């Protein structure tokens, strides 16, 4: 009898939480100044800023690769890896930012895309390490300076990605703990 009572209290509580969440979500979607459009635009801008910043680094790295034959191939490989990584990162940023507020409230953040961003952060760390080693092997002072500038730019982008992940990974949710257990 106690188990039936507990189960019914749990079911009523769960139904109440869902109904409140649905009404809050409906209110947000029906408001006159729909923030979801602004949110999508902001997400697209943030993703595009990341793409552009990394694209600038990639262009500079390709130029540097042509200046020093000793490290040229290594720098070109890093540039290619960063180019691929920036597209994946930008797509993941957009998906995390554009996730429905109700879904986030219920299940938590988009852990799949947060994982992709963590992977891209590691890729960027590896690229920074490779560029630092290449810088130490460079023969020209000009190339060393150019590499230092690009290393700093990659470190700044990595810090922005880390900040984004940190901000989005711990959003409040009702069933987020369950989703984390299942992932």
pLDDT digits (tens, 9 = 90+) for 17-37: 555 454 444 444 444 344 467
Contact 157, 124 (CB under 8 A): yes
Which among 55, 174, 77 is positioned nearest to 123, based on CA atoms?
Answer: 77
CA-based radius of gyration for the chain: 23
CA distance 42 to 37: 9
Contact 24, 49 (CB under 8 A): no
For the chain, residues with pLDDT lower than 50 are: 20, 22-35
Per-residue pLDDT at 24? 46
Per-residue pLDDT at 33? 40
Q: How many CB atoms lie within 10 A of CB 18?
A: 13
Per-residue pLDDT at 6? 59
Task: Report helix angle 2-30 to 35-67, nearest 10.
Answer: 80
Tokens coding 47? 């993703």
Boundaries of every domain in the chain? 1-32, 36-182
Of 1.10.1060, 1.20.120, 1.10.10, 3.40.1620, which CATH number belongs to 36-182? Answer: 1.20.120
Contact 98, 43 (CB under 8 A): yes
Contact 95, 110 (CB under 8 A): yes
CA distance 58 to 76: 9
Residues in the chain: 183
3-state secondary structure of 69: coil
């Amino acid at each position: 009898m106690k188990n039936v009572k507990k189960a019914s209290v749990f079911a009523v509580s769960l139904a109440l939480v869902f109904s409140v969440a649905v009404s809050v979500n409906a209110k947000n979607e029906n408001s006159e100044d729909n923030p979801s459009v602004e949110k999508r635009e902001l997400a697209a801008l943030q993703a595009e800023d990341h793409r552009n910043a990394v694209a600038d680094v990639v262009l500079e790295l390709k130029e540097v690769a042509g200046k020093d034959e000793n490290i040229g191939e290594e720098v070109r490989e890093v540039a290619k890896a960063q180019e691929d990584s920036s597209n994946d990162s930008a797509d993941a940023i957009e998906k995390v930012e554009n996730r429905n507020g109700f879904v986030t409230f219920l299940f938590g953040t988009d852990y799949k895309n947060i994982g992709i961003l963590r992977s891209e952060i590691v890729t960027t760390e590896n690229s920074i390490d490779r560029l630092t080693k290449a810088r130490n092997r460079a023969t020209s002072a000009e190339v060393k300076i150019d590499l230092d500038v690009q290393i700093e730019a990659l470190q700044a982008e990595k810090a922005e990605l880390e900040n984004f992940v940190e901000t989005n990974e711990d959003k409040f949710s009702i069933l987020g703990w369950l989703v984390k257990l299942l992932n």
